[in-house]
Amino acid sequence: MDLELSHDELRGMLEYEASVINNKDFITDDPVQFPRMFDDPRDIEIASILCATIAWGNRKMICRDCSRMLAMMGHQPLRYMMEEGYMDLNPEGNIHRTFFNRNLAHFLKGLRFIYKNFGSLQDFARSIGIQSSEYPAWLLVDSINRILSDENNGTQDSRCLPLNTANSALKRINMALRWLVRNDGIVDLGIWDVLNTSQLFIPLDVHVGNISRQLGLLSRKANDRKSCIDLTLTLREFDPDDPVKFDYALFGIGIHHKLG
């Protein structure tokens, strides 16, 4: 592939590649399929944040383990959480790689407080002012982490959400927010109105980072918070209203093209 592209040529390529991947067929092999199983927005939120939390590694394994996790919850994540079903779990039971039942219980204890006191994750997000934040994912994670700690006797758990938000790109939470906020009616669910798509940040991981550097979209070597912000600002130049749709493009370019 010729990487000597003008701004308009690169935008055209990204738009095209995004349109190729952002279709209903994508859902079948992606963890986004799991929040789409539900109708209640609260179930969708819980499934989104939990499935995004374990969305690292092999996609087939991620989907297998998301399916098992939701089955363990009787495919009723809200009810399971509010009835404290996690109290009966064997703490050492494995869910996905280094994420165990004890981590799930830690997470659900904090989320239960949020749903009991705010009604939904979106209402909690609104209460902390996420709608006016320049960096919504980071504000959300910091706020949830405080509640997780409070509800778990002061302990913290980096397996649930990153604790070092000053440096973390928050790939998984930014992906969950993409699911919850983008509303083009194709892959993402778009059930939240507390944010608009222009406020979202790219879910930056190793793959997206590598492809972005090869395309000249990102210069920094680290896949950290600053790189996530830098890459998103660049993508906003191509589409200020919906920069994270190019997440599909960067995924597709890496899968379908070999960059020299």
* Ramachandran assignment for 97, one of left (phi > 0), alpha (psi -120 to 50 degrees), beta (any other): left
- Model confidence at 257, in pLDDT bands (50, 70, 90)? low
pLDDT above 70 as % of the chain: 97
Cα dihedral angle (209, 34, 167, 201), rounded to 10 degrees? 60
Q: What is the pLDDT of residue 258?
A: 54
Q: What is the pLDDT of residues 74-100, one digit of tens each?
A: 999 999 999 999 999 999 999 999 999
- What the block records as the tokens of 72 is 């363990």
| pLDDT greater than 70 at residue 63 | yes
Q: What is the pLDDT of residue 205?
A: 96
| pLDDT greater than 80 at residue 255 | no
Q: What is the pLDDT of residues 221-242, one digit of tens each?
A: 999 999 999 999 999 999 999 9
Average pLDDT rounded to a whole number, residues 149-168: 98
- Contact criterion met (CB below 8 Å) for 158 and 88: no
| pLDDT greater than 70 at residue 260 | no
This prediction has a pTM of 0.96
